[in-house]
Amino acid sequence: MAPTDDTGQLAQHASSFGTTPPARPPAEGGARPGARMPRWLPRAMVLALALIAAFQLGSWAFHQLTGLLINILIAFFLALAIEPAVSWMAARGMRRGFATFLVFFGLVIVTAGFVALLGSMLAGQIIKMVEGFPDYLDSVIHWINQTFHTDLRRVDIQQGLLRSDWLRKYAQNSAAGVLDVSAQVLGGLFQLLTISLFSFYFAADGPRLRRALCSVLPPARQAEVLRAWEIAVDKTGGYLYSRGLMALISGIAHYILLEALGVPYAPVLGVWVGLVSQFIPTIGTYLAGALPMLIAFTVDPWYALWVLVFVVVYQQFENYVLQPKLTSKTVDIHPAVAFGSVIAGTALLGAVGALIAIPAVATLQAFLGAYVKRYDVTDDPRVHGHRSRAPAAPGLLSRMRGLRPREREIPEPDANAAEEGTS
């Protein structure tokens, strides 16, 4: 006998009485049979996948274009630095493109002359060291023979070096290193050309670039952008020109010292100290003084000591006398803030960050200073670094006197009243 369908019989009985059968309860898991997917779910999934793909593509493109973005940032700050000179010549009737070309041409001439002088100095010192190396080696061998009672000869040492595997491996590695150095030099020249082209376009087309940027902003935002641009130009140009003036003063001072001591290549070393000490903040003076000390040591060891003393003394003079007067109106930031900004810029962008950190922070500080509300400081001794003197607490004897009950004062008898009573 076939099993009966309870659901079908229930439906037949319900239809006979004119009612509808109750709905079947949902299956385990909460989903009703025949339920459909929400319409928004496929779109949300597609949108999430599209956002993930866009993020991955943007991250990949950013990492690939990091070098180009850094070059553009350097070019932008360089254009801000030379824009005052370009604007000054353009205001006197010269075409802006030609004025920019003249400024760049002057920079190229100065840089090429400095590199040529420095290269000739280094080449002369290397040739001098190579020519004097046999005598230096003979003096070292003579000292070793006298001290350790050996019988070394320079010919034996030279033959041992020529037959050693170390020299052969060093020559092979040097040959491979020459190719790497050549590739790095070509890459550096291409990077320099890229920075020069972008900075030329930024400086020559500065007004057009500002108009294009302001055309997509409302009038209120346009005023803020132009104000920020003007502050950036003033701070960056002021930083460059003040550093250039201090580099000139530092170079002349060190040149006078080196020339008085008779150190060779004194003009080139003076220019080296001036540029490196000013455009590498905080520690640039000590790094720049290392090369003059080394060359002065080849003349006389005491000369190197005199150069070290002069570098230290001049650094203090520059920090406390010269720099505050020259940079008070251009880049007025605290030395601790400058040092921290250099460290942060180096951590983010390396040497490029160290160069642009101070003008960037000075621009940001000046821009925020126009919107930060300031109040008058109260005349409190603690503001000036003095401790406030609180009123002294009463001593134990004073407190005991205050707690002791007062003695009742007995009035003295009146002399007139006594006479009246007697009479």
The last residue of a domain, from among 371, 398, 414: 371
Reported pTM: 0.61
Q: Do 153 and 129 lie in a common domain?
A: yes
Both tokens of 290, joined, read 């290392």
Residue 42 falls inside a structural domain: no
Summarize pLDDT for 288-322 with one digit per residue, the tens: 888 888 888 878 888 889 999 998 898 888 877 77
The DSSP-derived string for 390-410 is PPPPP-HHHHHHHHSPPPPPP
Is the residue at 320 inside a domain?
Answer: yes
- Parent domain of 322: 217-371
Indicate if 70 and 211 belong to the same structural domain. Answer: yes
Query: Same domain, yes or no, for 160 and 258?
Result: no
If asked whether residues 226 and 209 sit together in one domain, one would say: no
CA distance 145 to 140: 9
Asked whether residue 305 is assigned to any structural domain, the reply reads yes
Domain count, the chain: 2
Q: How far is CA 62 from CA 50, 66, 154, 348, in A?
A: 18, 6, 58, 15
Would residue 19 be called left, alpha or beta, if left means φ above 0 and alpha means ψ between -120 and 50 degrees? beta
How many CA atoms, within 13 angstroms, populate the side-chain half-sphere of residue 45? 6
In a domain, 27, yes or no: no
Q: At residue 141, does pLDDT exceed 60? A: yes
On the question of pLDDT at 223 being above 60, the answer is: yes
Answer yes or no: is 134 within a domain.
yes
151-207 confidence digits (pLDDT tens):
887 777 777 766 767 767 766 666 666 667 677 778 888 888 888 899 999 888 888
User: CA–CA separation, 346 vs 282, rounded Å?
Assistant: 13
Q: Is residue 289 part of a domain?
A: yes
pLDDT given at position 422: 46
